[in-house]
Structure 1
Amino acid sequence: MTAVAADRITAAAQAFSAAEQLAADFAQGAAARDRGRILPHQEVERLAASGLLAITVPAEYGGADLPPSAVAEVVRILATADPNIAQIPHSHFVYLNLVRLAGSEQQRQRYFAQVLDGGRIANAQSERGGATVADIATTVRPVGNQFRIDGRKFYCTGSLFANLLAVLTKLDDPQGRGGLAAGEYIAYLPADSPGVRIIDDWNGVGQRTTGSGTVTFDEVLVERDQLIHRSAAVHAPTGYGAFAQLLHAAIDAGIARGALTAATEFVRTTSRPWFESGVANAVDDPLLIQRFGELSVTVTAAEATLTAAGVAVDAATGAASEHAEGLAGRASLAVAAAKVLADNAANEVSSALFEVSGTRSAAADLNLHHFWRNARTHTLHDPIRWKYQHLGRALLHGTAPPLHGVI
């Protein structure tokens, strides 16, 4: 996968405008792409060419250095049109953030430059077979002057569209021959590296075109300077996890708004009023008006909480060390609340679309159910029952949220 020539974005307003223009185009074919599982290769190339994938590159490396709140808004805008496309660059932004927080100067220069030139990063993180999702079996071990990666990853969102893969590995070097500290490393390697196999086998009920299939690594050789120890970002009060979760919440909030917009358009143009309403047009049915008002509040609350969480994550990003722990904790809790409301909004509104639109909306050729399937699938990422737990413990016990990258 070759990079594309990318425009340079320098301000948040420019980023939002570019996202809105792309979203308007992406919305036109979203249902058809979902129905036929047509992978959005051209759309992702347009996204990269727009410069939006480089908006977090720090200013000293030539980027716009936009804050997390701006990235979340870009993602939310894209998700209103096609949440598949909005999810594809999630890991791209997260692993660029890891480079910023934990990479060496040489690594920052290399990977930021690649992204400015249109490069795209995808994750190879999750595995099956362990006791929990946190168990990592993929290893990186020293071999001569290099390191070798072996393993199998699943749910590798964006891998079919990526130039670089960010591979979560566990160091296997009991004798210390490689000179690396123990722990988990992210390996940044070209997607076409020898020994890498990207398999298009994602078959989820929703988010069908995110390229979230399997990637295998068979004796893949990497250099030392392709490895980043993730502890400095994940196990420190950096806001790393809050940023990642903020973008997930933005996707869900976008799905909710997209579903509400689709329902509004359908009722305005296609739905018939219920005969007992005594009105000529569905839009004048007082019970429908009431329900749309309720759904509007649900979506607006999710969006407002997302905005507030973005402000909190902005404050935690790059905070002075004496304030970092408190700001990072507040950011994680703010994002937890945003994730709860966005999760609920996406699932409720995408289901209510049929409730308010009537039987005609269930026609398979319309594929309006892609909103619900996308919401139901994406919101499985991180269970909101644990967001409630962290919020409750913070209130009752004054317990800070954990530092594990998923809160």
Structure 2
Amino acid sequence: MTAVGAARITSAQQARTVAAQLATEFAVDAAHRDRDRALPFAEIGTLAASGLLAVTVPAAHGGADLPPSEVAEVVRLLAVADPNIAQIPHSHFVYVNLLKLAGSADQQRRYLTGVLDGAQIANAQSERGGATIADIATTVRPLADGQQFRIDGVKYYCTGSLFADVLAVLTKLDDPEGTSGLPPGQYVAFLPADTPGVRIVDDWNGLGQRTTGSGTVSFEGVVVDRDQLVARTAAVDAPTAYGASAQLLHAAIDAGIARGALTAATDFVRDKSRPWFEAQVARAIDDPLLIQRFGELAVTVTAAEAALVAAGVAVDAAVDAPERVADASIAVASAKILADRAATEVSSALFEVSGTRSAADDLNLHHFWRNARTHTLHDPVRWKYQHIGRTLLHGTPPPLHGVI
């Protein structure tokens, strides 16, 4: 794992302060990076060097061991400035959490030490071609000695892979003879991004989140050692806060987009918009209908942010209390619904309240809507309504599949 001499963050307040400082810096050229699809290598390097990527490392390994709520606030602050940069480390935090929940002591020491030094983990998880996204075709097969394994497969939407030191590769054990001695199931292989047989392709062409490095990664005859494999079952097949923590960060990104879009709309109307003649006012900001609409949008954003805070509290409480995991998942589902709604509504309403001038392509104000529309596709909120309703009416807990 690559060390970049990262700073050490020791408290939640320090993490928030650093995140706010970086957000101010990253916001300056965010629209230009999006317009030109200029990948934020320098910015991600700055993020890694800041120590923010290590805030969830346990204290026993030298980290701040911040709770999920604080990580969500860090991500939200970054997303207000540039949701691309905020999404890139999402998988990093998810797989650090996997190591904490399911990694051996040696694996934790090995990989978390690298994270403390600034190393970045990216996902290689999603696939195409299966009946659903839950079907994993990428295999990990034992070699003759039983201590090494071969990985073959292709992954898509590998956010952050272009910037990563380590890839976390979701695989399915293919060992019908049981020669490895490992139980069947899914395993995450942690391997250096430059491992022979790994090919990272910069082919992400989404309409939004253009600079997240979410391209294709292929694995052909990639050899890994046994101690690079972490069984996923301990995190996703038991009541843990693993899924809720991951979804909380997605909600934080959407809430950040909503706040960023509202701020951009406010600034534009104050500085550039002309009033509609029927309002009979000298300034657009004095139009009573605009004032009303901004009030409505502000409530929408504030509600999403409040739900995010409440969900963070619920997830924090569930980290060491399995009996609270279901409540945490429902709280996060509610927050994700509100953040999804806020991000898409406010980023669209930006043009409604700002007027024709705001549609000029060179301003690239549409990057808020494109980012919101793209990121909110990550997992459908319609199923979150289902889980909330079933829990309320039937008393049945949400499923343990890691995406609620």
Which TM bucket (shorter chain)? over 0.9
Q: Which among 339, 352, 355 is matched to residue 355 of structure 1?
A: 352
**Is 1:153 the counterpart of 2:140 in the alignment?**
no
Distance 1:331 1:202 in 2: 33
Letter in 2 for 1:47: L
Q: 1:85-100 maps to which residues of 2 (within 5 A)?
A: 85-100=85-100
CA distance in 1, matches of 2:10, 2:305: 25
**Equivalent position to 2:255, from 233, 253, 256:** 253
Report the aligned-residue RMSD: 0.7
Task: Check conservation: 1:81, 1:258, Cα contact below 8 A.
Answer: yes
- Per the TM alignment, residue 332 of structure 1 is displaced from its structure 2 partner at its CA by 0.2
Alignment partner of 2:170 out of 168, 171, 177: 168
Give the corresponding residue for 2:217. Answer: 215
Give the Cα–Cα distance (whole angstroms) in 2 for the partners of residues 178 and 379 of structure 1: 40
Q: Which secondary structure does the structure 1 equivalent of 2:140 belong to?
A: strand
Residue of structure 2 equivalent to 1:79: 79
Say which SS state the counterpart of residue 393 (structure 2) adopts.
Answer: helix
Work out the CA distance in 1 between the residues paired with 2:239 and 2:318.
8
In structure 2, how many angstroms separate the alpha carbons of the residues matched to 1:283 and 1:2?
A: 50
Contact 2:2 2:114 in 1 (8 A): no
Q: Which residue of the partner structure matches residue 34 of structure 1?
A: 34
After the TM superposition, which residues 113-128 of structure 1 pair with which residues of structure 2 at under 5 Å, given as runs?
113-128=113-128
1:222-249, Cα deviation, whole Å (9 max, x unpaired): 0000000000011111111000000000
**CA distance, structure 2, for counterparts of residue 300 and residue 5 of structure 1:** 37
SS of residue paired to 2:118: coil
- Residue 222 of structure 2: SS of its match in structure 1? strand
Name segments (4+ residues, structure 1) moved above 3 Å: none
226, 229, 244: which is aligned to 1:227? 229
Helix, strand or coil at the partner of 1:207: coil
Kept after mapping to 1: 8 A contact 2:244/2:403: yes
* 1:29-71 deviation per Cα after TM superposition (whole angstroms, max 9, x unaligned): 0000000000000000000000000000000110000000000
- CA displacement, residues 162-219 of structure 1 (integer Å, 9 cap, x when unaligned): 0000000000000001111100000000000000000000000000000000000000
Whether 2:250 is the aligned partner of 1:236: answer no
Q: CA deviation at 1:318?
A: 1.8
SS of 1:198 mapped into structure 2: strand
Return the letter of the residue paired with 1:285.
Answer: D
Provide the C-alpha distance between the structure 2 equivalents of 1:3 and 1:140, rounded to a whole number of angstroms: 28
- 2:303 counterpart residue number: 301
Q: 2:361 — aligned with what?
A: 364
Identity %: 76
> 2:127 corresponds to which letter in structure 1?
E
2:333 to 336, 355, 368: 336
SS at match of 2:281: coil
1:4 Cα shift?
Answer: 1.4
| Contact map agreement 1:167 1:186 (CA 8 A) in 2 | yes
CA distance in 2, matches of 1:140, 1:339: 34
For residues 3 and 331 of structure 2, what CA distance do their matches in structure 1 show?
Answer: 36
Matched, 1:189 2:186: no
Between the aligned partners of 2:2 and 2:68, the Cα distance in structure 1 is 27
Aligned to 2:206: 204
TM-score under structure 2 length normalisation: 0.99
Q: Is the Cα–Cα contact under 8 Å of residues 3 and 120 in structure 1 kept in the other structure? A: no
Contact 1:151 1:217 in 2 (8 A): yes
Partner of 1:279 in structure 2?
281
> Secondary structure of the equivalent of 1:237?
coil
**Alignment gaps of 5+ in structure 2:** none
Give 1:3 deviation, angstroms. Answer: 3.5
Q: Residue 267 of structure 1 aligns with which residue?
A: 269
Aligned partners of 1:213 and 1:365: how far apart in 2? 26
Query: Which residue is 1:378 aligned to?
Result: 375
Q: Which residue, out of 393, 399, 402, partners 1:402? A: 399
Distance 1:120 1:58 in 2: 16
Q: What letter corresponds to residue 275 of structure 1 in structure 2?
A: F
Partner of 2:52: 52
**1 CA distance for matches of 2:5 and 2:221?**
32
The answer to whether the 8 Å contact 2:143/2:149 transfers is yes
1:257-283 per-residue CA deviation (whole Å, 9 max, x = no partner) reads 000000000000000000000100001
| Count of equivalent residues | 402
